[in-house]
Amino acid sequence: MTDPLSDRKMVVAAAATAAFLLLLIVLASPIAAHEEKLEKGEGVTYDARSLIIHGKRELLFSGSIHYPRTTPDMWPKLLEDAKRGGLNVIQTYVFWNIHEPEEGKFNFEGRFDLVKYIKLIGEHGLYATVRFGPFIQAEWNHGGLPYWLREVPNIIFRSYNEPYMQHMERFVKMIVDKLKDAKLFAGQGGPIILAQIENEYNTVQLAYRELGNKYVQWAGNMAVGLNIGVPWVMCKQRDAPGPVINSCNGRQCGDTFSGPNKPNKPLLWTENWTAQFRVFGDPPSQRSAEDTAFSVARWFSKNGSLVNYYMYHGGTNLARTAASFVTTRYYDEAPIDEFGLERGPKYGHLKDVHKALNLCKRALLWGSTSAQRLNPDVEVRIYEQSGTDVCAAFLTNNHTRLAHTANFKGQDYYLPPRSISILPDCKTVVLNTATILAQHNSRNFVRSSVTNKLDWKMNSEVIPVDLKVTSSTPMELYFLTKDKTDYAWYTTTINLSPRDLSMRKDILPVIRVASLGHAMVAFVNGQFVGSAHGSQIDKSFVLQKSVELKPGINYISLLGTLVGLPDSGAYMEHRFAGPRGVSILGLNTGTLDISENGWGNQVGLIGEHDELFNEDGSKKGKWTDLPKVGKGPPLTWYKAKFDTPEGNDPVAVSMYGMIKGMIWVNGNAIGRYWMSYVSPLGDSTQAEYLIPRSYLKPKENLIVVLEEEPAHPSNITILTVNRDTICSYVSELSPPSVRQWERKDDKFKPVGPEAKVGARLKCPNRKKIDVVDFASYGDPYGACGGFAQGRCSSPVSKQVIEQVNAIVRILKISINSESFRGERWN
């Protein structure tokens, strides 16, 4: 078997079990925080090349991990995994609306404990970037701004507006003071090396005209005046004032960023998007490890000194913290997925990129740079330190489809399409961005063996039919709910005579509701009529359903529902939601407009007021068995008990069979689910929802589900989550892993006697290889968890791997720190 490149490949896929394997897997030792203390010193300065931290230059590899999108019990492992992945900086926003949900009332407890989180970052030997905002966007409810700010008289968000600037400055100063009091800035010996004010303001600045220009200057100067001892940045802000550094956000900043607005500022990349956030109705979001790696290598090859992955771990929009239509799961395709599990190969490949760049560190930070174009598609960027042998080179093939062989310093180098080869000594390729040697994996959702069948009970909401009239027209929904709930009732009545109604049974009147968003459930005379909703792109919608009306009084009950507040755009304080026009079509007397009929309101559901979602509240009301046939009624609360699943793997709940609503476990809000809003691929955008283990007790955990539409909870399932399907992929054209190289005593050399090409497998969490599912020496295709044989393959591939695995298990031989290795499989 041959192909044009004689590129034979070995793919191995295996499954792991929870049994311990001695010697086979070499575990990373725990972080010794006392050995990782950050130096005290003069703080942080910068020049055109880089940030200078305590007098030293650093290549900075940063990742966004937001403290309220995880739980405090998850923080240590996330930080450990980030550091092990090659990061030395953690970036987070500050979330105004969780810290000051009501004006003057503050919350810094639990997963909102900002100071504890920043301290923990420092204890793990990592630096921190704090993005103060206070507008943050971040697909977070209201862009981080508290709802009460909307009701401040004469306020205009993010403009040169006195009420807004006064509240913004007060909040930012309060957070800065809290961090100063805890001695968390670098000049105080803390981990914070960088701060951000505002967020991507250039995208809306023109809408505010001159007031926008004045606001940018005010915000930057206000921040600098706080004297925190570290630089400030403004992302995507070409006119960042004075010493404030303008930084790049995007996927390819190495080629799209126009550069700092002053020659003495360094190139900083504050958001390298590792995928794309998802909204309900979206298909899966993807960004390949190869493309991400290319973008990072490209950035550093062109004088970049800091990259931040947005997100490195996306986490979960717990409770009602997601912005309009944004899913509860956030940036799940990041290097560490929603459940805190390393997503291979993205995690491992980026780790290798960081290692390769660190091997070039001296040349990158202290060398002079030059560039050559070797052919129309291939260029080389070189960093050299005069008078020394310090030299690093980046060979770049910019063609997206064609591979090239480039000659550099008398040696030929094979470059796959759209790839960069990194040469820390200007001779040796330690990594090509398109060649992944890191381990792949696939995620598995496993039904818990201890939860058994959930014994559900139900409690239906009473549909209000004649609430006290409070306004002539339906009230605006954001104003009604004030971000305390997603729900508000609108009721009105109409009195019809027999002559208003058609005599034909096949002709029914139609109710039409024009709404500004986000969704609605409609009832007439207490009976469910139907539902409708908008989308993230177009929040407004029209509900039209046939209805059965009767002579006399008819009761119209509309439940307006929100799916988060807006998080972006200009003049957010002027966004509105809820029903704007209501009419009845098909009456003998014509269309009846009841928009100004007089409307009553009820904010929230009775079950919310009674707190049916917690242990005490769940004992209230009348709970009954589920119907044996058919679905439960709309607007029904369901509750059940379950024991904590076995093991230590993350826990999730699958919501197949349900429609739309909210989930609670032991009184903790898990988030919104929306199973009926399917993507163009025909499946729910999100079906499984994380249950943090810290929310659980050993037995008798209470799960409560609020379902808005007719449904039956019998298919709800408690799951554990793992990435125990692991794979490795290697080609004869692959270079040895970058992990086989080191720079010691300023010398670049192999870690062992020589660097060898190999495929390696390592089980997660001290597990062992249990089954070899697939092996191929040939031209396999597919992805981990779904590989298939190609046109040709060695028939003994799987047998060879199984024999090697068996020998290793019998002899308990430690073969490398990766637990499994193969070299040039023959």
Which tops the pLDDT comparison, 786 or 440? 440
pLDDT at 621: 87
User: What backbone torsions phi and psi does residue 354 show, to the nearest 5 degrees?
Assistant: -60, -40
Q: Is the pLDDT of residue 811 over 80?
A: no
Q: Average the pLDDT over 814-822 and give the result.
A: 30
pLDDT at 760: 81
* Helix H or strand E encompassing 607: helix 606-609
Q: Average the pLDDT over 15-32 and give the result.
A: 31
pLDDT at 757: 84
Q: Is the pLDDT of residue 34 over 60?
A: no
Place of tokens 């550091």: 83
Contacts 24+ apart (CB under 8 A), 25-28: 25/762, 25/763, 25/766, 25/767, 25/768, 25/819, 26/814, 26/816, 26/817, 26/819, 27/766, 28/84
Q: Which residues contact 175 (CB under 8 A, 6 or more apart)?
A: 94, 99, 114, 132
Q: Is the pLDDT of residue 164 over 90?
A: yes
Q: Is the pLDDT of residue 9 over 80?
A: no
pLDDT at 794: 85
Give the pLDDT band of residue 13 (cuts 50, 70, 90): low
Q: Is the pLDDT of residue 49 over 50?
A: yes
Q: Average the pLDDT over 483-498 and give the result.
A: 98
Which tops the pLDDT comparison, 71 or 732? 71
Give the pLDDT band of residue 39 (cuts 50, 70, 90): very low
Concatenating the DSSP letter of every residue in 112-149 gives: G-HHHHHHHHHHTT-EEEEEEES---TTBGGGG--GGG
Active site residues: 200, 271
Which tops the pLDDT comparison, 237 or 756? 237
User: What does the mean pLDDT of the chain come to?
Assistant: 91
Q: Which of 424-433, 491-500, 670-679, 805-814 has the lowest mean pLDDT?
A: 805-814
pLDDT at 730: 85
Give the pLDDT band of residue 819 (cuts 50, 70, 90): very low
* Helix H or strand E encompassing 664: strand 660-665
Whole-angstrom Cα distance, residue 24 to residue 761? Answer: 11
Whole-angstrom Cα distance, residue 385 to residue 370? Answer: 11
pLDDT tens for 112-137 read: 999 999 999 999 999 999 999 999 99
Place of tokens 């993350």: 650
Q: How far is CA 464 from CA 491, 504, 563, 601, 708, in A?
A: 7, 30, 22, 9, 15
pLDDT at 802: 77
pLDDT at 15: 57
Whole-angstrom Cα distance, residue 135 to residue 164? Answer: 11
pLDDT tens for 583-621 read: 999 999 999 999 999 999 999 999 999 999 999 999 998
pLDDT tens for 453-477 read: 899 999 999 999 999 999 999 999 9
Q: Average the pLDDT over 495-499 and give the result.
A: 96
Contact 57, 189 (CB under 8 A): no
User: What backbone torsions phi and psi does residue 808 show, to the nearest 5 degrees?
Assistant: -60, -45
**Amino acid identity, residue 438?**
A
What is the Cα 91 distance to its own chain's centre? 13
pLDDT tens for 345-363 read: 999 999 999 999 999 999 9
* Dihedral of alpha carbons 353, 766, 734, 312, sign: negative
Closest Cα to residue 292, out of 311, 266, 267? 311
Contact 705, 669 (CB under 8 A): no
As a whole number of angstroms, the longest Cα–Cα distance in the chain is 101
Contact 458, 636 (CB under 8 A): yes
pLDDT at 40: 46
Whole-angstrom Cα distance, residue 102 to residue 104? Answer: 6
pTM reported for the whole predicted model: 0.93
The torsion angle over the Cα atoms of residues 544, 548, 550 and 554, rounded to 10 degrees, is -50
- Encoded tokens for 720: 């554990």
Q: Where are the beta strands (DSSP E) in 323-481?
A: 368-373, 378-384, 391-397, 404-408, 411-415, 419-423, 431-432, 440-447, 457-460, 469-471
pLDDT tens for 742-792 read: 998 888 999 988 888 887 888 888 888 888 888 888 888 888 988 888 888
Q: Average the pLDDT over 726-753 and give the result.
A: 88
Give the pLDDT band of residue 735 (cuts 50, 70, 90): confident
Which tops the pLDDT comparison, 257 or 767? 257
pLDDT at 763: 87
pLDDT tens for 292-341 read: 999 999 999 999 999 999 999 999 999 999 999 999 999 999 999 999 99
Whole-angstrom Cα distance, residue 443 to residue 768? Answer: 17
pLDDT at 90: 99
